[in-house]
Amino acid sequence: MGTRKKVHAFVRVKPTDDFAHEMIRYGDDKRSIDIHLKKDIRRGVVNNQQIDWSFKLDGVLHDASQDLVYETVAKDVVSQALNGYNGTIMCYGQTGAGKTYTMTGATENYKHRGILPRALQQVFRMIEERPTHAITVRVSYLEIYNESLFDLLSTLPYVGPSVTPMTIVENPQGVFIKGLSVHLTSQEEDAFSLLFEGETNRIIASHTMNKNSSRSHCIFTIYLEAHSRTLSEEKYITSKINLVDLAGSERLGKSGSEGRVLKEATYINKSLSFLEQAIIALGDQKRDHIPFRQCKLTHALKDSLGGNCNMVLVTNIYGEAAQLEETLSSLRFASRMKLVTTEPAINEKYDAERMVKNLEKELALLKQELAIHDSLTNRTFVTYEAMDEIQIAEINSQVRRYLEGTLDEIDIINLRQIKEVFNQFRVVLSQQEQEVESTLRRKYTLIDRNDFAAISAVQKAGLVDVDGHLVGEPEGQNFGLGVAPFSTKPGKKAKSKKTFKEPLSSLARKEGASSPVNGKDLDYVSTSKTQLVPSSKDGDVKDMLSRDRETSSIEPLPSDSPKEELRPIRPDTPPSKPVAFEEFKNERGSEINRIFKENKSILNERRKRASETTQRINAIKREIDVTKEALDFQKSLREKQGEYENKGLMIIDEEEFLLILKLKDLKKQYRSEYQDLRDLRAEIQYCQHLVDQCRHRLLMEFDIWYNESFVIPEDMQMALKPGGSIRPGMVPVNRIVSLGEDDQDKFSQLQQRVLPEGPDSISFYNAKVKTEQKHNYLKTMMGLQQAHRK
C-alpha cells in the first residue's frame, strides 16, 4: 500500500478591473489568502460580526497564465500517472469564475488551451520518451446532467446511443460506469478530436452571471496501460486520470434563472451540497460512514475522493467585492478539501500470456530435475517430453501389428505413451471406416432411406420397385448386391436417363441447396438405413445435376443486363448505402479507392516486416539470456576453481572469452534490429495516417455523391449545374473537404508554415478543423432533409 498524503488545493482568482484590494490580500509566500470585511454599522453598537478570515492553501494563482497554472497544478499528477498512480484534477467554484476556462480553455487559441488538452499532450510526449514500454491510451467523456448520466461521445458513428441507461457499478477493482464508451487513441490528434467532439455535445445556458454557463458536471478520463518491451516480467501497470469540470454553484437571486435553467440550477446546487457533505465526512477521522451514494457525482468520484489517487483541487473565485460571500464559501470548501487524505499506490496487474511463458520455463526446469532423478534410479529410457512424429508412427505400427496378431503385447513406458496408444486405436478404426466407405462409393451411389423425395425420383427412373427395394435386393438385407448393369438394357437406357433427369431437375429447382440430389447430399451416408444405386448410373446423375445447376444459374442473367450507356433513371427511393457505396467505388470514387488500396497494401507490408523484425528481436533476446546464463556459470566455476592473475590482469579460459565475444555481437545485433523496428514503427504510423486520410476522404466524397445523386430534390439539381447558384462540391460539405489531393497537401503545408505557435499546435488545430467540418456537414444535411420534406 502507498503512504497517505493530503489533497493539494489551489486557488485561481479571475482577473478583473474592479479587484477588491482592501478586502482580499495574499500572503508573501503565495500560499495564503486573507479576507477582510467591513462591519455593518446597521447592527448597532454591540456587533459580534466576524470580519477577518485566513485560508492556508498550496498556492494562490493570481494573474497566472495557462502555462503557469498547468505547471503548478497538473504536471506532476500526469507524470506520476505514467508510473502507475491514479490522478484526479477537479475545478470547483461559483458560476462564471473560470472553471471551464481553467480545465478546457479556449479552443480558438492554442496558447489559451486549458489543463485537459495540455494533459493529453504531455501523455503522448512522455510515451515518445519511453520506447522501452508499450503504452496504450484510452479516453472517455461522461456528463452528469440533472442526476442522469450521459456519454458525450455517443454521437460518434461507430458508437451510437445506448439502449439501456448508464449505471455506476462497484467491484473490487473500483468504480466504473456501465455503458460508457471508452475509445482507443493512438495519436495526439485523435485524442483532441474526441475532446472537441465531447465539448460540442455539452449542455450550456445563459444567465446574468455567465453567457455560456455549463449546466452539467463533466468527467474526462484518460486510461493508461504500460507493458515493458524489454523485461519478461508478467507484471504491467495501469492508471487513470480523471479531469473533472464541475458546474458552478448559483445564487438564484443573482443569476436570475427561470424555467429549465432554474431546474438545472437546483440539481447543480443539490449535488454540490452532497459533495461538500462527503468532503466534510472524509475530513473527520471519527466518521465511519461516508455518504458517497447520495448523488451520482459523489458516487462516480468515490475512487478519487479519499481513495487510491493523487488528488488536486483548483478553486476558482471572483476578485470583486460584490461576489465576496460566494468567494468565502468556495475558500471554505478548499480548506475542508485539504483535510482529506488519500493513499495513492501503483496499480500493478499481471499479464496472463507472460505468466504462461514463465510457467513454461519453470516446467522445463522441473523436467530437467526429473531427468536427473530418473538417471540416478536407472530409468533413463523414461521421457517427459511430448512425442514427436517418429514416436507416434512407431506406436501406430505397434497397434496395427497388435490388431493383425503379429505382436503379442505393447510395452508400457509412461502415462503419455498409454494415452497415445488409445489414440492410435481410434485413428486405425477411423481409417478402416473410411476405407470401407470409399470402397462402397466406388461401386454405389448412396441414398438415405428416409429421404422419400429422392426415393420417389429414383422410382420414376426405374431404379427401385414400388416397395422401395432395389432391383435384385434380397429380403431383409440392407444392401442389394448383384444388380444387373444398365449396359445390358440398351433399349431402356435413353428413356430411363430422360425420365430420371426430369424429376431430379424439378426437385433441384424446388428445394435449391437443400435438395437431396445435389452434389453434397449424393455423398451423404447413413450408417443404419441406406439404399445403393449402381455406380454405372452415378456419372449420369452427377452430369445431369451439374447441367441443371448451370442452366438455373444462367437463366436469371438476361433479366439483369440493362444498357450501361443509358443514364439510369433516378429511383423513387434511394438505394441502400452499402449498394450505392460499391457503385461509387467503381465509378466516381475509383481513383480514391485505388489510392486507398495501395496505401493499405503498403501498410500491411510494413506491418509484416515489423512483425518479422519483432520475432528476430525476441529470438536474439532469448539467445542473449541463454548466453548470459552460460557466462555466469563460467564465472562462478572460475571463482570456485580459483582465479589467476598476470600483471594485474584476470586470466580467463577460452570458452568464457568466446561467450563474451558472442554476447557482445548479440547485443550489437539487438540494437541494430531494435533501431530498424523503431524506423518501421514510424513508417507504420505515417502509413496508417495516410490510410485514415484516404478512408475519410473516400467516405466524405461518397456522402457528397450520394446526397447529390439521391437525396437532393430534383428542383434543386438545376442550381448545381454549371452556371447555377451552387457550385458542385459544396453540397453538402464545405470547400476544404472537396479539395483535390494536391490542393489538400498545399493546404496542410501552408497550415504548418503560418501557425504561429509552432509544430506542437498542428494536431490541436487539425482536430478542431475536422470537428467543425463534421458539425457543419451535419447541419447542412439536416437543412437539406427538412427542405426535401417540405
Residue 483, pLDDT > 50, answer no
Of the listed ranges 156-170, 417-431, 438-452, the least confidently predicted one is: 438-452
For residues 661 and 414, the model is more confident at: 661
Residue 531, pLDDT > 60, answer no
Residue 395, pLDDT > 50, answer yes
pTM confidence score: 0.54
pLDDT digits (tens, 9 = 90+) for 43-59: 666 666 677 889 999 99
Of the listed ranges 38-42, 170-174, 341-345, 549-553, the least confidently predicted one is: 549-553
Query: In which element (H, E) is residue 582 found?
Result: helix 577-586
**SS3 for 606?**
helix
CA-CA distance, 716 to 595, in Å (whole number)?
Answer: 32
pLDDT of 580 reads 84
pLDDT digits (tens, 9 = 90+) for 94-127: 888 888 899 998 877 788 889 999 999 999 999 9
Query: In which element (H, E) is residue 237 found?
Result: strand 235-245
Residue 238, pLDDT > 60, answer yes
Question: Which DSSP symbol is given to 723?
Answer: T
pLDDT digits (tens, 9 = 90+) for 510-527: 334 333 334 334 333 333
Residue 504, pLDDT > 70, answer no
pLDDT of 448 reads 65
pLDDT of 86 reads 92
Mean pLDDT of the chain: 76
pLDDT digits (tens, 9 = 90+) for 726-757: 544 444 433 333 333 444 555 555 555 555 55
Q: Which residue has 440493362 as its cell numbers?
A: 562
**SS3 for 327?**
helix
pLDDT grade, residue 620 (50/70/90)?
very high
Residue 300, pLDDT > 50, answer yes
Of the listed ranges 189-203, 488-502, 759-773, the least confidently predicted one is: 488-502
Question: Which DSSP symbol is given to 265?
Answer: H
pLDDT grade, residue 462 (50/70/90)?
low
Contacts of range 379-383, beta carbons closer than 8 Å, 24 or more positions apart: 381/413, 382/413, 382/414, 383/414
Hey, what domains does the chain have and what are their CATH numbers? 5-39+49-159+182-251+308-350 (3.40.850.10), 385-444 (no CATH), 574-711 (1.10.287)
pLDDT of 567 reads 46
pLDDT of 660 reads 87
Mean pLDDT of 152-158: 81
Burial (0-12, 13-18, 19+ Cβ within 10 Å), 684: middle
CA atoms within 13 A on the CB side of 732: 24
pLDDT digits (tens, 9 = 90+) for 692-727: 888 888 888 888 888 777 776 655 555 555 555 454
pLDDT digits (tens, 9 = 90+) for 59-104: 999 888 999 999 999 999 999 999 999 999 999 988 888 888 999 9
DSSP code string of 64-104: --HHHHHHHHTHHHHHHHTTT--EEEEEEEBTTSSHHHHHT
pLDDT grade, residue 550 (50/70/90)?
very low
Residue 656, pLDDT > 60, answer yes
pLDDT of 554 reads 39
For residues 210 and 273, the model is more confident at: 273
pLDDT of 147 reads 86
pLDDT digits (tens, 9 = 90+) for 346-382: 888 887 877 888 888 888 888 888 878 777 777 766 6
Mean pLDDT of 296-321: 88
pLDDT of 546 reads 42
Residue 39, pLDDT > 80, answer no
Q: How are beta strands 530-534 and 444-448 bridged, if at all?
A: antiparallel
CA-CA distance, 347 to 345, in Å (whole number)?
Answer: 6
pLDDT of 98 reads 87
Q: Residue 370 is placed in which grid cell? A: 526429473
pLDDT grade, residue 446 (50/70/90)?
low
The percent of residues above 90 in pLDDT, for the chain, comes to 15
Residue 488, pLDDT > 80, answer no
Contact criterion met (CB below 8 Å) for 575 and 710: yes
φ and ψ of 75, to 5 deg: -60, -45
For residues 691 and 412, the model is more confident at: 691
Mean pLDDT of 600-627: 90
Binding residues for ATP: 93-100
φ and ψ of 53, to 5 deg: -135, 145
Residue 619, pLDDT > 70, answer yes
Residue 499, pLDDT > 50, answer no
Mean pLDDT of 202-216: 69
Binding residues: 93-100
pLDDT of 574 reads 74
Residue 482, pLDDT > 60, answer no
Query: In which element (H, E) is residue 183 found?
Result: strand 183-185
pLDDT of 778 reads 75
